[in-house]
């Protein structure tokens, strides 16, 4: 297949060659079940899982025993949110999150709301930023959790996680962060955080594997399991472990630990070049703050064109999205951009460019040339 240029790294990343190489033996010769403790097949698989757990833990500054492997960040977030809700049956419960969270958070919050929880959805400014004073004003005596993503998947906005952690700790509240887009791209720490969701396929690892960080030795309670059947992963998540995927996750974490800062600097230069060139077109606007954001992400609105037509045409040669990969085929404007007050027509005519390790200067120049020609063509038709 003659693939277009890839600029949708926030949706998923290609597995690094080193990751594929590390995984392959565990599909073949080393096929053992990590829960089989009575023979060498299981021992080897179990050791590989623990080595990977250590590597992923190092990437976020955690202890290996604080990581629970899951099928991905969506499962991790469901476990964290519903698992905390289940801790307090019959009690009045209040949760705080944000209107611009990923659907895995918003839909989980809607589910516990259906079961009886109160949920406050924090608004954001036109730049996509949250007001921490407003957050603290909304705390209730029965607030059980604050949930705020580290970096937004659509705009790249980085939220003030350290300050939110301080607020949560001051009031004795569980703090959950969806760190999927941040881990492996910017420095991440578990300080002040009780629960953190991660995903391998966002950092050049395989799809279908993620993790939940669960803070150890803390007075705040841990979530209750949502999957039962064997008590795997310290009882938090039953089910046979995806050993090849976990091995790949570990290898990807090692690679990102070594490369993230240098790669971030390189991609920022390329992103800025792409963005400044496209902003030269009349009627093009940047969505979100340019102050605190991921270095590889640019979200731009193009006035005077129909959104669906723009996306289809651009994707003939440059693979981009109009928002989250989970909702990118929807003709509706992104809920993130709506929350920022961006008009529906501009929201639909917005493109997210997210760059990665295979993005070169030539890729940027080609992308700029193609997008400009598409926009000009659509506006003149």
How far is Cα 297 from Cα 268, in angstroms, rounded to an integer? 8
CA distances, 216 to each of 62, 64, 66, 118, 237 (Å): 10, 10, 6, 27, 16
For residue 15, indicate whether it is catalytic: no
**In a 10 Å sphere around its CB, with 0-12 CB exposed, 13-18 middle and 19+ buried, how is residue 166 labelled?**
middle
- Residues near 272 by beta carbon (within 8 Å), at least 6 away in sequence: none
In 185-242, alpha helices (H): none
Reading the block at residue 336, the tokens are 């993130």
Give me the phi and psi of 265, to 5 degrees please.
Answer: -65, -40
Sign of the dihedral defined by the CA atoms of residues 94, 323, 193, 67, in that order = positive
- Residue the block writes with tokens 């492997």: 69
- Residue the block writes with tokens 């921490």: 132
Q: Measured in Å, how far apart are the chain's first and last C-alpha atoms?
A: 30
**DSSP-derived secondary structure letter, 281:** S
Reading the block at residue 355, the tokens are 């760059």
Catalytic residue of the set 15, 98, 147, 326: 326
In the chain, alpha helices (H): 17-23, 40-60, 73-85, 103-114, 132-137, 161-171, 243-279, 307-314, 335-339, 344-348, 361-380
DSSP H or E run through 213: strand 210-214
**Active site residue ranges:** 326
């Amino acid at each position: 297949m003659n693939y277009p240029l890839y600029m949708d790294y926030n949706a998923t990343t290609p597995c690094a060659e080193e990751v594929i190489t590390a995984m392959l033996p565990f599909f073949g010769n080393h096929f053992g079940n990590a829960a089989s403790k009575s023979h060498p097949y299981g021992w080897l698989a179990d050791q590989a899982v623990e080595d990977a757990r250590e590597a992923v833990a190092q990437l976020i500054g955690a202890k290996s025993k604080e990581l629970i492997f899951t099928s991905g960040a969506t499962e991790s977030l469901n476990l964290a949110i519903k698992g905390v809700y289940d801790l307090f049956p019959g009690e009045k419960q209040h949760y705080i999150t944000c209107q611009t969270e990923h659907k895995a958070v918003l839909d989980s919050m809607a589910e516990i709301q259906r079961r009886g929880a109160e949920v406050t959805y924090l608004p954001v400014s036109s730049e996509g930023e949250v007001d921490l004073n407003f957050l603290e004003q909304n705390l209730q005596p029965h607030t059980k959790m604050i949930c705020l993503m580290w970096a937004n998947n659509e705009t790249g906005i980085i939220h003030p996680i350290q300050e939110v952690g301080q607020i949560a700790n001051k009031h004795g509240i569980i703090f959950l962060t969806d760190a999927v887009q941040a881990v492996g791209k910017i420095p991440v720490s578990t300080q002040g955080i009780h629960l953190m969701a991660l995903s391998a396929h966002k950092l050049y690892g395989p799809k279908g594997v993620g993790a939940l960080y669960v803070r150890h030795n803390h007075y705040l309670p841990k979530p209750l399991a949502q999957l039962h059947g064997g008590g795997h992963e310290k009882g938090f998540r039953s089910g046979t472990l995806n050993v090849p995927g976990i091995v790949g996750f570990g290898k990807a974490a090692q690679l990102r630990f070594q490369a993230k800062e240098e790669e971030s600097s390189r991609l920022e230069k390329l992103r800025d070049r792409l963005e400044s060139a496209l902003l030269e077109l009349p009627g093009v606007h940047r969505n979100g703050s340019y102050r605190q954001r991921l270095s590889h992400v640019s979200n731009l609105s193009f006035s005077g064109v129909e959104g669906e037509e723009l996306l289809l045409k651009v994707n003939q040669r440059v693979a981009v999205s109009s928002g989250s990969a989970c909702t990118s085929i929807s003709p509706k404007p992104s809920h993130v951009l709506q929350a920022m007050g961006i008009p529906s027509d501009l929201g639909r005519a917005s493109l997210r460019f997210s760059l990665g390790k295979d993005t070169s200067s030539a890729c940027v120049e080609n992308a700029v040339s193609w997008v400009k020609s598409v926009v000009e063509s659509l506006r003149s038709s």
